[in-house]
Amino acid sequence: MKPCSRRKFLIHSGIAFGACLLPSAGLYGDLFNSGSVKGTIFKNDAPAALWKWAVEAMYYHKTENNGVVCRTCPNACSLSPGDRSICRTKINIRGVLYSIAYGNPCSVNIDPIEKKPLFHYKPGSKIFSIATAGCNFRCLNCQNWEISQARPEDLRNYDLFPEKVAENAQKYSSQAIAYTYSEPSTYYEYMTDTATLAKRAGLGNLWISNGYINRAPLEKLCTLIDGANVNLKSFSDAIYQKLNGGSLNPVLETFKTLHEKKVHFEMTNLVVPGYTDDEPMMRKMCKWILSTLGPDYPLHFSRFFPKYRLKRLVPTPVGVLTRFRNIALDMGLRYVYVGNVPNHEGNHTYCHSCSRLLIRRNGYRISKNNLDISQCRFCKTKIPGVW
Amino acid sequence: MKNRDANSILRVVIATGVASVSTQLVVIREFLTLFSGNEFVIAITLFNWLILGGGGTLLARLTENRIVPSLLRLAQFSFLLCILGISEIFIIRLLHSRFFIHGLEPGFYQTFAFTFIVSAPYCLLVGFHLPFSLYVIKNVNYKVSSVRVYMADNIGDATGGALFSFFLVFIVTPVKAVILTSLPLYAAATLLLLPKKRRLILFWYTACVASLMIICIVFEQKSLERKNSRLKFYSETPYGRVEVQEYKGDFTFFRDGIPLFDKKNRSRAEETVHYGLSQVEKIKSILCISASSNMFTEIQKYKPERIDYLEIDRTVSDAMFEFSFLKRNKNINVINDDAVKFLNTTDEKYSAVIMDLPSPDTFGLNRFYTREFFEKVKAHLAKGGVFVYSVKGFENYPEANQLKQLSSLYATASSCFDHVLVLPFSQVFFILSDSKPVIDVPGRLFSKEIETLYIDQFYLVDLVEFRTERFMAWLDSEAQINSDFSPVIIRDAFGHWFSTFNSSPILFGVIASVLFLIYLFFLSKAETVLFFTGFSAMAMQMAVIFVFQILFGYIYLKTGMLITVFLAGLFIGAFLAEKITKILSMKDLLIHDTLIILLMPLFVGTVSIFGAELPQLFFLMFSMVFAMVCGMQFASGMKMEKGRAGIATGFFAADLMGAAAGLLAFSLVLLPLLGIFKSIGMLCILKTLSLIRYKL
């Protein structure tokens, strides 16, 4: 047998080393159970020239060497010139932070208000809904990942400036404009400009969000919006990190601010099997809501379906949602709903005082409305919401 | 004595082939249930297997003067192979749950890294084992030809493949299949040691293998249970894995690890059934190509005379009724057959055909979304009949590749039917008919006095019109038509899958190409020839299977037969080369190459001219002949080099590496970009170009 020559040994070792490089490519990104899917900023990913209708961001501060720190959301992206934020919509060009998600929604729809879901805001109304690309989270079960995890310049966008948005909303007889689908905080400048015009035109403004926003921009937003649905994705910081790439506390702060500013809001809790269908955690969440926000804000327990990267989970058992609703009601919350389950009694609104049926919802249709403006027709109790 | 030892070694080689091929099949099925079941995952799993096998073979060459090629060592490696094989499924399940968070479907690179790392120990050892056997046999009796070792390996491979595909898959679980096919290897290794009086070593290995077997059998079922779930039903069928899991009171039907539907979800059934059936004036008979939960309950509202429920996998249809996902009724006729095959043979005309299959993300599923298939369906529709199918949709914005796929599907549907209504929701529904379908589905249902839960409540006609109009404006009017032999939508499906993970296969492609080029650069003439033969053989084997399935449908046993015949052909070719040919040179290899090159256009020409009129025997014969030429060339190459063990090892490695490259290039690049016939054309050109090596 011939011994292996040094040259051959080196060649084969080189190939073996290269072959090992192949799977190591998999170590990039969110491979394996790292505990957090939090996004990272995109170095040198900003377009060479400002893209389309870019505007200077409202909330940021400058640092040395033309650096900037975005202050819209708690991610606090620190960007050098040429960098792009975690949410993909903010870029640093020569020391100025720009939002490149302005006037360019990629998704424009008319939705029933019940789809948001907002059950205590003008039931049965039609809402002009817009979204641009980008999100500050990385939810593994995102149902709008096509836009939330994309850069604005990579999508097919409409040219729709704030004036046009308000005009279109009126044209389609919508009562309000919803900033929705992706995360509206990432197109904050576009949202606030549009909301200002919409308010002037007598239209409502609805913020459908993950609630991951800093106090200052939120306070300004509170002066413009008429209602909000904010996701309370779980009541565990570890799960927020693992499934969403965010953290719990800033979201809780958002609820407190909305409450302080007396904005009508509703909370959505997606019950994900194996993660957020934990009863003790749900009880803890309800306890916090009761003690901090009070019993009047509606809470929606929403059914999970396998989506995006979380495809190997079962849908949430309806029995779990029913049980969660019953527990939350027993704990003292007054308006607890079940979402994504047609024909469930948790789709309807009952008076918290006399327990009579106020609003019967058959999906997106309102088949019965026993509200007398904002009061229960039977016992005259005032029902919280925007009616 | 020398001959007896040589025969014992050959027995080990055959047994290794039996064990490794069935383990390979079981492991691939396991990966397909843990990861996405598309061609990328199949390709990288097989690629890993081949490349690691090739790596193991090279390792044997590198260590040939370091590890003494003795019978004892061979027996020890064989026992180790048994142990690794038996524990492989458990290791995969255990590490998968440790590495990935619960419920996650990992992306391409994660899948590649995981499958590579987990497969490495077993595959490297399998790759090492064959050339090491050759060293041992040459050590024992240098007169034994290397071709005999190659033939023994082929016999083992063919037997292992046949044993699993035709027998074990029907009766035992994956772990038991691996155990049963590892027993001959255990026995062969024991026979190596018995005459050498190595009883203590034998005892310890036996104890280890036996206890591992017991542990694996006892805990196999347990290892399938998901977090907080109870496994209510589990079966491995030739078509994949079927499970029903109970989670907190709800039952979910799983196919190949993917939760397809739960019992309580009526909305999907309503959408699948009523968007189409509401368009038809009078429903007499309906053909359902597969079905999801509660579908028949919705269909019965139209009072049809007959529902033909076509489901290729009997286990699936049985489980659907047993766990009440579907309700039994006298008018339901279950047919366990492939849809293409069924439509080729039946004369029935249906009022409606409802196809409820997964989205066309794989070549296997593409067959049901082509112009040829749509035309077949149309031929079985009664006047005014409707054909409905749906694919994965989007909430508010279709991703670019998905939109391309949807555009092609629309173009394909429009090329066969006068009217196509598209309802773009989180599932995109296509309603195809020669009568004009209307968008006001609730209105149609009202006039037919049919009550629904979801459609009545959630289908708001004006909003659906608004959404549909916008969607239609997005569609590409120049989109290509999807056909059997040119599956354009698969390219888009791959692109969509990668975009889900914000990744691209380019990094992988570049690294793999560079490595193959470096490897090719250092190969000898004969090795280069065998590399490209391995490349062509793997690609042609896949092409033959694809074409067969397109023309005749997915017939499990016949597909298995095609693979077995191919492996047997390699053996026969090697046998002929061993027995007939005497003095050999590079010219002989050139003759084989010429034959291989000529066989490719012959296949394309014959299939293009005769299509489905070809007898199925043609495909078996072609596989046999093609494999025989490849086997003959391999054996001739080894004879030419006078069976020197080191050289033969290089040949084994070149063949495996070539097969790995062929697999990647054909299934992931050529086929999606060029379609089947042009891809074979490219193979032909590539093989012809490789002839240059004879001159260099």
Three-class DSSP labels, B111-177: HHHHHHHHHHHHHHHHHHHHHHHHHHHHHHCCCCCHHHHHHHHHHHHHHHHHHHHHHHHHHCCHHHH
Only one residue has tokens 């490297």, namely B124
In this predicted structure, the answer to whether residue B297 has a pLDDT above a threshold of 60 is yes
Q: Which of B266, B326, B323 is nearest to B290 (CA)?
A: B326
The answer to whether the CB of B349 falls within 8 A of the CB of B381 is: yes
Residue A1 is predicted with a pLDDT of 39
Residue B1 is predicted with a pLDDT of 53
Q: How confident is residue B602, by pLDDT bands cut at 50, 70 and 90?
A: very high
Residue B581 is predicted with a pLDDT of 67
Q: Tell me which of B63 and A204 has the higher pLDDT.
A: A204
Q: Which of B587, B480, B639, B594 is nearest to B145 (CA)?
A: B639
In this predicted structure, the answer to whether residue B218 has a pLDDT above a threshold of 80 is yes
Q: How confident is residue B50, by pLDDT bands cut at 50, 70 and 90?
A: confident
Residue A2 is predicted with a pLDDT of 44
**Residue B463 sits at the chain A interface (C-beta within 8 Å):** yes
Q: How confident is residue A7, by pLDDT bands cut at 50, 70 and 90?
A: low
CA B185/CA B521 separation, integer angstroms: 37
A8-17, A205-214, B293-302, B566-575: least confident range: A8-17
Residue A8 is predicted with a pLDDT of 56
Helix, coil or strand: residue A383: coil
**Residue B602 sits at the chain A interface (C-beta within 8 Å):** no
Mean pLDDT of the residues in chain B = 91
In this predicted structure, the answer to whether residue B51 has a pLDDT above a threshold of 70 is yes
The answer to whether the CB of B136 falls within 8 A of the CB of A1 is: no
CA B148/CA B3 separation, integer angstroms: 13
In this predicted structure, the answer to whether residue B645 has a pLDDT above a threshold of 80 is no
Minimal C-alpha gap between A150 and chain B (Å)? 9
In this predicted structure, the answer to whether residue B302 has a pLDDT above a threshold of 60 is yes
In this predicted structure, the answer to whether residue A24 has a pLDDT above a threshold of 60 is no
The answer to whether the CB of B308 falls within 8 A of the CB of B217 is: no
* CB contact set of A10 (below 8 Å; sequence gap of 6+): none
Q: Which of B617, B493, B633, B634 is nearest to B544 (CA)?
A: B617
pLDDT tens digits, residue range B59-114?
A: 998 888 888 899 999 999 999 999 999 999 999 999 998 889 999 999 999 999 99
Residue A29 is predicted with a pLDDT of 43
CA B534/CA B40 separation, integer angstroms: 20
The average pLDDT across A140-144 equals 95
- Angle at which helices B586-610 and B671-689 pack, to 10 degrees? 150
The answer to whether the CB of B641 falls within 8 A of the CB of B586 is: no
Q: How confident is residue A17, by pLDDT bands cut at 50, 70 and 90?
A: low
Q: SS3 for B596-645, per residue?
A: HHHHHHHHHHHHHHHHHHCCHHHHHHHHHHHHHHHHHHHHHHHHHCCCCH
Residue B223 is predicted with a pLDDT of 87
Residue A337 is predicted with a pLDDT of 98
pLDDT tens digits, residue range A303-362?
A: 999 999 999 999 999 999 999 999 999 999 999 999 999 889 999 999 999 999 999 998
Helix, coil or strand: residue B389: strand
Two tokens, residue A182: 């992706």
**Residue B612 sits at the chain A interface (C-beta within 8 Å):** no
Residue B406 is predicted with a pLDDT of 98
Minimal C-alpha gap between B100 and chain A (Å)? 5
Q: How confident is residue B680, by pLDDT bands cut at 50, 70 and 90?
A: very high
Q: SS3 for A239-250, per residue?
A: HHHHHHCCCHHH
Give, rounded to a whole angstrom, the gap between the first and last alpha carbons of chain B: 45
**Residue A345 sits at the chain B interface (C-beta within 8 Å):** no
- The letter for the amino acid at A335 is Y
Residue B643 is predicted with a pLDDT of 58
Only one residue has tokens 């002037």, namely A200
Sign of the C-alpha dihedral computed for residues A285, A250, A38 and A220 taken in this order? positive
Query: A-contacting residues of B 645-684, CB under 8 Å?
Result: 645-646
**Residue B136 sits at the chain A interface (C-beta within 8 Å):** no
Query: A-contacting residues of B 627-646, CB under 8 Å?
Result: 645-646
Q: Exposure string (b/e) for A164-182, b if CB count within 10 Å is 16 or more?
A: ebbebbbebebbbbbbbbb
Two tokens, residue A340: 């994504």
CA B592/CA B597 separation, integer angstroms: 9
Q: How confident is residue A22, by pLDDT bands cut at 50, 70 and 90?
A: low
CA B191/CA B85 separation, integer angstroms: 20
With pLDDT > 90 as the criterion, what percentage of chain A qualifies? Answer: 87
Picking from A106, A147, A274, the nearest residue to B228 by CB comes out as A274
What is the DSSP secondary-structure string of B283-346?
Answer: --EEEEES--TTHHHHHGGG--SEEEEE-S-HHHHHHHHHTTSS---TTEEEE-S-HHHHHHH-
A261-265, B551-555, B582-586: least confident range: B582-586
Picking from B65, B111, B258, the nearest residue to A312 by CB comes out as B258
Two tokens, residue B464: 């659906």
Query: A-contacting residues of B 265-294, CB under 8 Å?
Result: 265-267
- Asked if A26 and B266 come within 8 Å (Cβ–Cβ), the reply is no
A55-59, B459-463, B636-640: least confident range: B636-640
Two tokens, residue A286: 């309800």
In this predicted structure, the answer to whether residue A28 has a pLDDT above a threshold of 80 is no
- The letter for the amino acid at B639 is K
- Asked if B460 and A311 come within 8 Å (Cβ–Cβ), the reply is no
- Asked if A16 and B55 come within 8 Å (Cβ–Cβ), the reply is yes
- Asked if B250 and A319 come within 8 Å (Cβ–Cβ), the reply is yes
Give A255-262 contacts, CB < 8 A, sequence gap 24+: A255/A211, A255/A230, A255/A289, A255/A292, A255/A293, A256/A292, A256/A293, A257/A215, A257/A218, A257/A219, A257/A222, A258/A218, A258/A222, A258/A228, A258/A230, A259/A292, A259/A293, A259/A294, A259/A297, A261/A219, A261/A222
The average pLDDT across B683-687 equals 93
Q: How confident is residue B692, by pLDDT bands cut at 50, 70 and 90?
A: confident
The answer to whether the CB of B252 falls within 8 A of the CB of B262 is: yes
Residue A21 is predicted with a pLDDT of 55
Residue B640 is predicted with a pLDDT of 76
pLDDT tens digits, residue range B391-445?
A: 999 999 999 999 999 999 999 999 999 999 999 999 999 999 999 999 999 999 9
**Residue B233 sits at the chain A interface (C-beta within 8 Å):** no
CA B120/CA B124 separation, integer angstroms: 6
* CB contact set of B546 (below 8 Å; sequence gap of 6+): B363, B671, B676
pLDDT tens digits, residue range B101-134?
A: 999 999 999 999 999 999 999 999 999 999 999 9
- Angle at which helices A215-222 and A248-260 pack, to 10 degrees? 30
User: For residue B293, which residues of chain A lie inside 8 Å, CB to CB?
Assistant: none
- How many A×B Cβ pairs under 8 Å? 202
Residue B464 is predicted with a pLDDT of 93
The average pLDDT across B171-186 equals 94
| Strand blocks (E) in B366-413 | 381-392
In this predicted structure, the answer to whether residue B495 has a pLDDT above a threshold of 90 is yes
Query: B-contacting residues of A 361-380, CB under 8 Å?
Result: 362-365
Q: Which of B683, B611, B565 is nearest to B157 (CA)?
A: B565
Only one residue has tokens 């506390």, namely A249
Beta bridge partners of B244: B233, B253
Sign of the C-alpha dihedral computed for residues B361, B364, B368 and B372 taken in this order? positive
Q: Are strands A371-372 and A365-369 parallel, antiparallel or unpaired?
A: unpaired
Mean pLDDT of the residues in chain A = 92
Minimal C-alpha gap between A2 and chain B (Å)? 7
* CB contact set of A345 (below 8 Å; sequence gap of 6+): A338
In this predicted structure, the answer to whether residue B352 has a pLDDT above a threshold of 60 is yes
Residue B665 is predicted with a pLDDT of 93
